[in-house]
Amino acid sequence: MPAPETIPKKSLWWLESLLWSAAIIIGVGIAAYVNETAREIVTQGLAYFFTFFTTPFVLETSTAFVGFCIVMFINARRLEREGDGWVEMEIKDPAAPEDLSLGQAPSDKAPKV
């Protein structure tokens, strides 16, 4: 009886960046809640950020880039689950003899005259 296949371990590569991002956002939120100057700086920064990203060229470009990143992420996850799907096709040469043993060159099988 063959040994059962082991289930591959799931990679949590995204968890560390998610935790760091959450920690930074929570830290900035707490600083903005506690300190009025920090709140003003965060509010002004978010206003500048919103103004910059809603200008016509930047809005379309950033939306296209984010969409492209989402598609690439989904495709990478699909490839990770299903495999790459490459198929190797065997093409037989009709001129080559088919009775060659493994490791034997066609010249080895040539009739001796």
Span 21-79, pLDDT tens digits: 999 999 999 999 999 999 999 999 999 999 998 899 989 999 999 999 999 999 988 88
Local structure of residue 91 (DSSP, 8 states): -
This prediction has a pTM of 0.47
CA distance 51 to 39: 18
pLDDT at 53 (0 to 100): 85
Question: What pLDDT band is residue 102 in, cutting at 50, 70 and 90?
Answer: low
- Report for 48-57, 81-90, 96-105: range of highest mean pLDDT: 48-57
Tokens 């206003």 sit at which residue? 47
**90-110 mean pLDDT:** 63
pLDDT digits (tens, 9 = 90+) for 14-24: 788 899 999 99
Residues in the chain: 113
Contact between residue 68 and residue 75 where contact means Cβ atoms under 8 Å apart: no
Contact between residue 39 and residue 32 where contact means Cβ atoms under 8 Å apart: yes
Contact between residue 33 and residue 27 where contact means Cβ atoms under 8 Å apart: no
Contact between residue 51 and residue 44 where contact means Cβ atoms under 8 Å apart: no
